[in-house]
Amino acid sequence: MKQSIKVFIEEIKNLKNEKKFNLTDIAKSKDVTSSFDNQISEEEFMEAMKDHCKKEKEKSCPYCKRNNVVKYGFTKNKKQRYKCKECGRYYCITTNTPMYYSKKVMKKWFEYYKLIGNMTPIRQCAKILDISIGTAFQWRHKILNAIMPMLKGKMEGTIEIDEVLIPESFKGNHSKNLNFYMDREPVIRKRSASEYVSSKKVSILCCKDRQEKVFVRTGGIGKIGAIRLYDLLSDKIPERSILCTTNNIAYIPLARKLNCKLYKLRGRYEVIKDKYHIQNAGAFGKRIVNTINYKFKGVATKYLNFYLSWFHWQESNKRETNSMKLLDALSMSIYSNQKLRVCDFKNVKSLP
């Protein structure tokens, strides 16, 4: 195994107890980026990741986090199985990862992570990897579910906050869901402007500071209220920050509670004192809406937070190489300790 892989594995071990981290910083400090691009083959990298996962699972149980673990045979797919002597549960190296319960070979997952980095549509993913559209859909949401809690959302300094609205969507096949109920009237085509504005819409909160750190999440139906704003941003905005926001009155109690200076702007193009505006956050929100509408042809509202975490991750890594994006996504998936089984999809929610 090449020295660069060993460096990567050793550094990622040192961060296993941190809930949120940025693998890009590690790779830059150890010059792993150039090594991965030019020296490491895909097979070597996959083997390194497998060995790393195996060693981590041998150390502690993913359920109770205790260290009294022994090997306990193999699964049907010839993966090493372990037993925790403390809680008595069994697990393997893919437990609580997006690959959990998957019958596909790891190489296909590796290729799928590459496609995730390029935001490839589901049908193209299915065609490239020779898997069904349903499998490609499930894999995408399993990966995004694992990445979402690992993303950094802490901002500082001058923070721009904008809101964009998109129509509530029930996209998908509901023929097998006996509990499905669409709590709105069918949409009538060729509506007037007033009818369009008064229809149900989902608000998306887009935040961006001047260091290009971002945070994006669904706010709810209609304009975001003060309670929801505080729940989303109380741990993301430090005290004495400068907030540049829309004209929503809910930002006044938010700024008061967080002890921040507030500049409310009447429009996206208004500028106060030649430096306070929300143009960067507005452009970020516009890119999100355009991608959802034109590239993905709409996204079901229940899965919207998954896709917003995808945009968050892409924006945070937009200056990185594809190799670094791949490393970042794989590492977050391993350490998030999040799983989403097929039977759990019906319980997914994005709105409060």
pLDDT for the residue numbered 326: 80
pLDDT, mean of residues 107-123: 89
Residue 125 · residue 115 · CB < 8 Å: yes
Residue 6 has pLDDT above 90, yes or no: no
Q: Where are the beta strands (DSSP E) in 17-157?
A: 69-74, 80-84, 90-92
Q: Kindly report, residue by residue over 181-224, the tens digit of the pLDDT.
A: 777 776 666 666 666 655 678 999 999 999 999 999 999 888 89
Reported as a single tens digit per residue, the pLDDT across 144-170 is: 999 999 898 899 999 999 999 998 888
> How far is 242 from 158, CA to CA, in rounded Å?
5
pLDDT digits (tens, 9 = 90+) for 15-28: 444 444 444 444 44
* Alpha helices per DSSP H over 42-105: 42-59
Q: Residue written as tokens 């829309």?
A: 246
**pLDDT per position as a tens digit, 46-63:** 666 666 666 666 667 888
Average pLDDT over residues 71-90: 86
158-316: CATH number = 3.30.420
* 115 to 110, 313, 337: CA distances (angstroms): 9, 14, 22
- State the pLDDT at residue 38: 43
Distance CA 221, CA 202 (A): 5
pLDDT digits (tens, 9 = 90+) for 317-333: 888 877 778 878 888 88
Average pLDDT of the chain to the nearest whole number: 82
**Between 275 and 179, whose confidence is greater?**
275
Work out the angle at residue 8's Cα, subtended by the Cα atoms of residues 7 and 13, and round it to the nearest 5 degrees.
100
